[in-house]
Amino acid sequence: MAHRIIIGAGIGGLTTAALLAKAGLDVTVLEAHVYPGGCAGTFFHQGYRFDAGATLAAGFDPGGGMTRLGEMLSIAWPVEPVRAALRVHLPDGSQVTRWSDSAAWQAERLSAFGPAGEPFWRWQERVAERMWGVAHRGAPWPPQTAGEWARLAGVGIQLAAADPARLPGLALDGVRPVAAHLAHAPARLRQYVDGQLLIAAQATSERANALYGAAALDMPRRGVAYVSGGIGRLAETLAEAVRRHGGDVRYRQRVTRVARLPGSGYRVETDKGATAEADTVLFNLPPHDAAALLGDDAPPKLRRARLPADGWGAFMLYIGLEGAGLPADSPLHHQVLVREPLGEGNSVFLSLSRADDPARAPAGRRALTISTHTDLQPWWRLFQGDREAYEARKAEYTERVLDAAQVAIPGLRAAARLTLPGTPVSFQRFTHRSQGWVGGFPQTNLFRAWGPRLGRNLWLVGDSIFPGQSILATALGGARVADTIIREEP
Ligand SMILES: Cc1cc2nc3c(=O)[nH]c(=O)nc-3n(C[C@H](O)[C@H](O)[C@H](O)COP(=O)(O)OP(=O)(O)OC[C@H]3O[C@@H](n4cnc5c(N)ncnc54)[C@H](O)[C@@H]3O)c2cc1C
């Protein structure tokens, strides 16, 4: 029987693996780390389970992407729906809560941004509805074969038939930024949208594509859920599903080389000196990292893949908190916008474990993950050239991020019992993504997304393929790749 190897147990790789195994195909996942999840993993440190990167899980509404994936794989996700998806703290001191419930959110946004903001939100929700419909149907974007062009044309015809009058607007949104819809919006609304887009599309409204941006802004009302035990439980559950359906997941297996065999197939080598042969190889990695593993055997287009100049890294703080003084009714996720330009400690995202989740922290304590977008290069320049300055920068960012985070959790500094910083250097070390580039391609242009077909029996999954970054999006992308492989299986 043909054998498939998937390199990386991120959400994209595990989703693909589980669905292929469920279809009866022979599949092995090789993961460098000792646990699954990559950017959406949870690590254990001094009694806490800290979410390493991703913290907010969506897609668990009825009919949502994660719900449907769970049904396909007979998975009971360890999740519970939440009412308040997140609270945004704007630079003027005001707060806006993203309620999951539509009516509550409409009332909140009207009171926060006034009637002048409504045309924007009506546009956003209308376009988001269409875009999520397209993503759920596994739209083959960008099309790479005649069959995919035909399927995409079918999706286009359905969209046109559903609402012909709006088709020209949708087409225009395919090539313009979200900012085109904010020209007459209040300044606070633009700030709010920029903050949300930076985390959901990796670019603010001036650059984020309108179609992508509208869909990304919808995430908080698409079945946000609390994951008991930490976000990494999602990947752990997927890894269990791979095994239950007859596939294999092997840890501590960093792939160091993928070589084309004469005739057909590939030889995969790991840092443990193991080799395995596969008919098909799937890379759950950024394209340039996949290219590095293939070396001279990389298809020409892949050889030209580069880390994007506008790509982001993350500076993290993992904090063990004394929980007693924390407000009981506060949402678990907060975004604090301090000033523009956003990122580099001027905007931070905070996520707390629930007080009643014993797996996340010692009794009476909470696990807190805080992140801010950061430019990759300064960290690497200092790490490679001046370790003392690198440590000083870490200390400076720690203070900056704590200052911002205190807006959401007053008394945070006093309650912190453990503070662990992470930089792009840590992300490279733990996810093997070169230079710690995370979040996928900034969604400035729909044509930036990679197609998953890299070459003969070579596939790409993860946040570099459509629909991009996030747990939900990488799961949808992985499901689409699995579906294509299963359909094309001789
Ligand atoms: C700070 C931060 C905050 C985020 N917040 C959210 C959020 O709140 N909600 C959300 O939905 N998303 C969020 N995201 C995005 C989300 O985490 C990612 O889009 C998603 O997890 C990426 O999944 P992936 O499939 O691309 O794989 P990755 O997470 O990149 O995992 C790839 C895996 O491959 C392994 N690997 C790499 N190289 C090799 C090799 N050579 N051999 C073997 N194994 C290898 C790695 O160890 C890793 O486990 C966030 C990301 C970051 C960094």
The tokens for 479 are 């499901």
What DSSP assignment string belongs to 183-252?
Answer: TTS-HHHHHHHHHHHHHHHSS-TTTSBHHHHHHHTTGGGS--EEETT-THHHHHHHHHHHHHTT-EEESS
State the Cα–Cα distance between residues 202 and 204, nearest whole angstrom: 7
- 198 and 94 in one domain? yes
- For the Cβ of 8 lying below 6 angstroms from any atom of ligand 1, the answer is yes
Distance set, CA 461 to CA 214, 280, 452 (Å): 23, 13, 6
Domain that includes residue 465, residue range:
3-41+55-78+229-308+439-488
- 457 and 429 in one domain? no
Which residue has a Cα nearest atom 53 of ligand 1?
53
- 257 and 201 in one domain? no
266: CA distance to ligand 1 center in Å? 25
Which residue has a Cα nearest atom 37 of ligand 1?
432
Nearest in space to 139 (alpha carbons), one of 486, 477, 463? 477
In a domain, 50, yes or no: no
Cross-strand bridge partners of residue 439: none
Q: Which atom of ligand 1 is nearest to the CA of 36?
A: 49
The tokens for 177 are 């930024």
Distance set, CA 475 to CA 285, 382, 467 (Å): 14, 35, 9
- For the Cβ of 29 lying below 6 angstroms from any atom of ligand 1, the answer is no
Q: Which atom of ligand 1 is nearest to the CA of 440?
A: 19
In a domain, 387, yes or no: yes
**Which pairing describes strands 333-337 and 313-322: parallel, antiparallel, or unpaired?**
unpaired
- 283 and 166 in one domain? no
State the Cα–Cα distance between residues 418 and 284, nearest whole angstrom: 33
Domain end, chosen from 190, 223, 256, is at: 223
- For the Cβ of 254 lying below 6 angstroms from any atom of ligand 1, the answer is yes
Angle at 291 between CA 286 and CA 293, to 5 degrees: 100
The tokens for 245 are 């359906």
Pocket-testing residue among 43, 79, 284, ligand 1, by greatest number of atoms within 8 A of Cβ: 284
The tokens for 27 are 């599949």
- For the Cβ of 463 lying below 6 angstroms from any atom of ligand 1, the answer is yes
Distance set, CA 347 to CA 31, 63, 197, 268, 301 (Å): 32, 33, 12, 41, 36
Pocket-testing residue among 55, 212, 285, 480, ligand 1, by greatest number of atoms within 8 A of Cβ: 285
Angle at 6 between CA 70 and CA 305, to 5 degrees: 115
Which residue has a Cα nearest atom 14 of ligand 1?
54
Contact (Cβ atoms closer than 8 angstroms) between residue 357 and residue 313: no
Domain end, chosen from 409, 436, 463, is at: 436
What tens-digit pLDDT sequence spans the chain (490 residues)? 689 999 999 999 999 999 999 999 999 999 999 999 999 999 999 999 999 999 999 999 999 999 999 999 999 999 999 999 999 999 999 999 999 999 999 999 999 999 999 999 999 999 999 998 888 887 899 999 999 999 999 888 888 888 888 888 989 999 999 999 999 999 999 999 999 999 999 999 999 999 999 999 999 999 999 999 999 999 999 999 999 999 999 999 999 999 999 989 999 999 999 999 999 999 999 999 999 999 999 999 999 999 999 999 999 999 999 987 787 788 999 999 999 999 999 999 999 999 999 999 999 999 999 999 999 999 999 999 999 999 999 999 999 999 999 999 999 999 999 999 999 999 999 999 999 999 999 999 998 889 999 998 999 999 999 999 999 999 999 999 999 999 987 6
- 12 phi and psi, to 5 degrees? -65, -50
State the Cα–Cα distance between residues 52 and 36, nearest whole angstrom: 11
- 123 and 12 in one domain? no
Q: First CA to last CA across the chain, in angstroms?
A: 11
DSSP label of 248: E
- For the Cβ of 288 lying below 6 angstroms from any atom of ligand 1, the answer is no
pLDDT in tens, 227-241: 999 999 999 999 999
Using CA atoms of 237, 238, 239, 242 in order, give the dihedral in degrees to the nearest 10.
Answer: 130
Nearest in space to 217 (alpha carbons), one of 126, 313, 314? 126
- 462 and 401 in one domain? no
- For the Cβ of 98 lying below 6 angstroms from any atom of ligand 1, the answer is no
Domain end, chosen from 223, 242, 276, is at: 223
Which residue has a Cα nearest atom 48 of ligand 1?
38
- For the Cβ of 470 lying below 6 angstroms from any atom of ligand 1, the answer is yes
- For the Cβ of 374 lying below 6 angstroms from any atom of ligand 1, the answer is no
Beta-strand (E) ranges in 73-181?
79-81, 84-89, 95-99
State the Cα–Cα distance between residues 332 and 323, nearest whole angstrom: 13
Which residue has a Cα nearest atom 34 of ligand 1?
8
Sheet holding 95-99, edge to edge: 95-99, 84-89, 333-337, 347-352, 365-374, 313-322, 416-422
State the Cα–Cα distance between residues 239 and 52, nearest whole angstrom: 18
- 166 and 108 in one domain? yes
Q: Which atom of ligand 1 is nearest to the CA of 438?
A: 53
Measure CA 210 to chain center: 19
Rg value, the chain, Cα? 22
Domain count for the chain: 3
- For the Cβ of 343 lying below 6 angstroms from any atom of ligand 1, the answer is no
Which residue has a Cα nearest atom 24 of ligand 1?
462
State the Cα–Cα distance between residues 440 and 233, nearest whole angstrom: 22
Pocket-testing residue among 250, 253, 470, 480, ligand 1, by greatest number of atoms within 8 A of Cβ: 470
In a domain, 474, yes or no: yes
